[in-house]
Structures are given as structure tokens and as C-alpha cells.
Amino acid sequence: MEIETEPYSLDRGRPLFHVDEGVADAEIELNQLRIGRRSNGTVRTCDGNSVEDLERAWLISMGDGIKQIPKLLKTSAGKITCSIFRVPPNLFENFENSYRPKIVSIGPYHHGKDNFEMIEEHKWRFLGSFLARWQRNGVGLNKYFHAMASIEETIYDLSKGFQNSSSLLELALRFFKGAVHSPIERLEEAKHLLDLFRLIFSPLSIASINGELNSNQMVQLIPSARKLNLAGIKLKAISESDSSLDIKYNFGILEIPTITTDDFSCCVLLNCVAFEQCYSHCPKHFTAYAALMGCLIKTADDAELLSTCKILENYFMSAEEAAKTFSNLGRCLALDLQGCYLSQVFVGVNEFRERKSLSKGGQRINGPHLGMGGPKFFK
């Protein structure tokens, strides 16, 4: 009797191979591994080891791998205290120029590079002047060195001496005066300057945007701006809003705050998206915003339409460059659409299109689904 071999099928649940009953010492070659069924029922490999022995060795190997101390990862990886990351490769490859510092680098990732040699000398000069200023209060290099083991707020407290100085957060907000319109209480949880920007420009009231989804509602991405316009959806600019992320949809009208595509707005958006992609302990508001804008702006025609609607103030990029920026960013993201703050916007737009299509006798077509996987831009 012969051995029947069949390809494995996930949907049909068929076996990898089948051996007829009563066959003794039959062997087949499958994926360079010869497996035989002996008359006593024991399955062995071509080198004489039993499958049970191989399974036991595999389990031991997996256990050893789990217990192995990581060489590259730190013990803080994945914890809420770990909040400074390298830009993910998929984002860095598409926006390398935007993620590379041009004047000054803060932190270790770009330290020592040739193009920052002069600014490094400025840093040493500033440090010397700073220490000389507070030496009279008994705060010298030794105290700052030991304070490095604590948080930056503690280091800053040492520098205040006996004067009534502002907090570190207040100094940061003063430095970015004109770009901040959020309550200071909301910003006290910021972990660093980038997180401060993320909190400043996040929507103040997420509940009013998101609402509650029905359990049977499937959240899908939406088509481009041109296609939405053809489907009868009106694109409307919001000139005054608490946040540029405050996008709303109501009865066939998609309202989007006016944005300006310049170096500042693009830099903040790209860095906040990179932070959210790496840090699992924060909402993904910028990621959801970038995903929606990536849907809307696929081509230069889409960018020109949004400019006509006063949604996009595109003074610093061509329509082609704006389309490339937003469409590339939209493709680089991992986002849970079901749980993002714009889920109701995605649902509302797609339901309107489906009703329009059905009313015209068309066929219902589902859109793509995305699973887990400054100036006017920021007022």
C-alpha cells in the first residue's frame, strides 16, 4: 500500500500527511525531514530519534531562550518609565531629513557627530557659565553630578537657589509662548519636551469626538478627498479650534481644522507619531490623525482640493510633496481603528457613502481595514 501525501490547508483543516492503516516501516520525505511509522507505533526521524525526544529538546531550548538575559534590551523596556526611543525604521526611512537634528542635538543618539562639533563647544561654555552663576549659593558641579541619579526637575530645583523662580514646566511653556493654548494642569504629566508638545496639541475632549461604537460596527479607513467629494461628502475647514486634531463628522460634513504644512508642524506631527508608535502607555491621537490625513491626501489632486476648501494651507510644499508626505506617513502606522478617537468619524463617513451607493442602486463596497498592527497646524 502507498502513502498519500497532501499539502496542508488551514481552511480545510486537512492533515499534513496521511498514512494508510496497516503500513509498517513506511517512510516519506517531507521538507527534508524523513519520518517513518514503525510497526510498534513509534514515530522516528531518519537519525533514529523519536519525535517525543525532539519535542522535549525543543521545549528545553525554548525555556532557555525565555530565561536568557537580553543583550540589547534594558530592563526598563516596555515599562511606563521608558519613554525615550529611537525612531522606528519604517518612519526613519521615509522621513530621514525630518528626524535628523539640524542645529543642536539633545540626548545620546546624535552626540559626537561632526556636524554638531561647534554646538558641543557651546554646551560646555553654557555649562561653565551656569555653574559659575550658582556657585555663590553653594551649588556646584558635585551636587549636580549626584542629582543626575534623580529626575530633571530635581536638578532644576538645585539651580533655582534662593530666588522665586518658575517651575521647569513653566519655563518650557514660556519658551514656546504663542504656540500653547492648553491648561497648565493638563501638562504636568509630560515626561519630556516631546511629550509636552503631544499633550499641548491633543484634543481636550475626546469623548465628544469618539462617542460609543456599536458592537457590530466595523471601523474601516476612508477614501481620498476627491472620492469623498464625488460621493457627496462636504469638506469644511474649521478656522478656530482648541486642537488641530479636533476633526468632526456630522450628517455628510467632514470638518477639519485648518493646517499649515511647514517645517514646524511637520516636525511636531512626525515626532509625536513616532513617540506614540513606540510608547504603549499613551493614547494614539496623533497616529489616528495621521492615518485619516493619509487617507484623504493620496494624490496632488487631493491636496489641491483641501487647499481649495481652506483646510490645507500649503505655502511651503508643492501639492505633490504634500501628497507624498501624508500618504507615506499613513502607510507607516500601526493603529487600532476600533479604539482610536476618530473611530466614529471613520464609521460615519463610510456609512454615508454606503447609503449613497445603495440609494443609487450601486453595490456596497467595503473600504480597506487597518488593524492592530505650529503655525496653524498647532494653534
Q: Taking 60 as the threshold, does the pLDDT of residue 42 lie above it?
A: no
Q: Are residues 159 and 219 in the same domain?
A: no
Characterize the bridge pairing of strands 312-313 and 259-260: parallel
Euclidean distance between CA atoms 285 and 206, whole angstroms: 9
Q: Quick check: is 94 in a domain?
A: no
Give residue 227's pLDDT. 95
Q: What DSSP character marks residue 299? A: S
Q: Are residues 111 and 249 in the same domain?
A: no
Predicted TM-score of the model (pTM): 0.70
Give residue 20's pLDDT. 41
Q: Which three three-digit cell numbers place residue 307?
A: 487647499
3-state percent helix, strand, coil for the chain, nearest multiple of 5: 45, 10, 45
Q: Are residues 214 and 105 in the same domain?
A: no
Count of CB atoms situated within 10 Å of the CB of 302: 26
Structural domain boundaries enclosing 322: 207-359
Give residue 173's pLDDT. 73
Q: Quick check: is 88 in a domain?
A: no
Domain boundary among 165, 182, 199: 165
Q: Taking 80 as the threshold, does the pLDDT of residue 5 lie above it?
A: no
CA 16 from centroid of its chain's CA atoms: 39
Q: Are residues 235 and 287 in the same domain?
A: yes
Q: Are residues 265 and 331 in the same domain?
A: yes
Q: Quick check: is 78 in a domain?
A: no
Give residue 153's pLDDT. 58
Q: Are residues 242 and 307 in the same domain?
A: yes
Q: Quick check: is 131 in a domain?
A: yes
CA distances from 69 to 62, 64, 82, 198 (A): 14, 10, 18, 34
Q: Quick check: is 199 in a domain?
A: no
Domain boundary among 48, 67, 86: 67
Count of CB atoms situated within 10 Å of the CB of 297: 29
Domains identified in the chain, total number: 3
Give residue 347's pLDDT. 92
Could you tell me if 372 and 334 are in contact, meaning their C-beta atoms sit under 8 angstroms apart? yes
Q: Where are the beta strands (DSSP E) in 140-285?
A: 234-238, 248-250, 253-257, 259-260
Q: Taking 70 as the threshold, does the pLDDT of residue 57 lie above it?
A: yes
Of 72-81, 125-134, 305-314, give the lowest mean pLDDT range: 72-81
Euclidean distance between CA atoms 354 and 372, whole angstroms: 24
Q: Quick check: is 175 in a domain?
A: no
Euclidean distance between CA atoms 370 and 295, whole angstroms: 11
For the segment 207-251, what is each residue's pLDDT rounded down to a tens digit? 445 555 666 678 899 999 999 999 999 999 988 777 888 899 998
Q: Quick check: is 339 in a domain?
A: yes
Q: Quick check: is 193 in a domain?
A: no
Q: Are residues 234 and 332 in the same domain?
A: yes
Q: Are residues 131 and 62 in the same domain?
A: no
Q: Which amino acid would we find at residue 40?
A: N
Q: Where does 73-192 have alpha helices with state H? A: 89-94, 96-99, 117-134, 141-147, 152-159, 168-175
Euclidean distance between CA atoms 246 and 249, whole angstroms: 10
Give residue 98's pLDDT. 83
Q: Are residues 289 and 340 in the same domain?
A: yes
Q: Are residues 139 and 17 in the same domain?
A: no
Q: Are residues 342 and 268 in the same domain?
A: yes
Q: Are residues 343 and 215 in the same domain?
A: yes
Could you tell me if 278 and 85 are in contact, meaning their C-beta atoms sit under 8 angstroms apart? yes
